[in-house]
Amino acid sequence: MATLSRVLGALAVTTTLAFAVTVNAQTTTAPSSSPPGSSSTSSISDKKLDAVAAAAKNVVVINRSYKAKVDQAPDAQKQQLVAEANQAMTKAVTDQGLSVDEYMNIMRVAQNDQSVRNRLIERMK
């Protein structure tokens, strides 16, 4: 169940970033607000950001698909559907050559670092 919570946590960030893609053109960017000790912008390669963006797009699609299924399913099937969604989201991440932990860490950095977030959002367009 720990993997599910990590993937769902990443999903929340992914959903937030995906939403930001749609409104990014209408907002001004604030200066980067990286917390002390976080990875610097330059330490996340373009290749890694490309992989995270591709995984995030797939995670959003999987989330939407399974959310609809879970909403319509009888209570007895909901847990199985959540497990399937977890597997599918994990696979979407690992298919891009990332571990779930690596994906989560980059998403956390993107959430806290405006520059990384902007680089990731650009790739998700």
| Higher-scoring residue by pLDDT: 8, 69 | 69
Q: Return the CA Rg of the chain.
A: 15
The rounded distance, in Å, linking the Cα atoms of 18 and 92 is 16
At residue 119, does pLDDT exceed 80? yes
Spatial CB neighbours of 87, under 8 Å, sequence gap ≥ 6: none
Question: Residue 97 has what pLDDT?
Answer: 97
pLDDT of residue 30: 39
pTM listed for this prediction: 0.70
Q: What is the mean pLDDT of residues 59-87?
A: 90
Supply the pLDDT for residue 28. 36
Angle among Cα 65, 100, 82 to the nearest 5 degrees reads 35
Q: Which residues contact 11 (CB under 8 A, 6 or more apart)?
A: 59, 60, 63, 89
pLDDT category at 125 given cuts 50, 70, 90 is confident
pLDDT digits (tens, 9 = 90+) for 89-113: 999 999 999 999 899 999 999 989 9
The residue among 32 and 8 whose pLDDT is bigger is: 8
- N residues, the chain: 125
Q: What does the DSSP assignment read for 32-46?
A: P-PPTTSPPGGGS-H
Query: 10 Å Cβ neighbour count for 44?
Result: 20
Q: What is the pLDDT of residues 18-69, one digit of tens each?
A: 544 433 333 333 334 444 444 445 589 999 999 999 999 999 899 889 988 9
pLDDT computed for residue 9 by the predictor = 58
How far are the Cα atoms of 76, 77, 114 from residue 73, in angstroms, in the given order?
8, 6, 39
Strands (DSSP E) contained in the chain are: none
Q: What is the pLDDT of residue 7?
A: 54
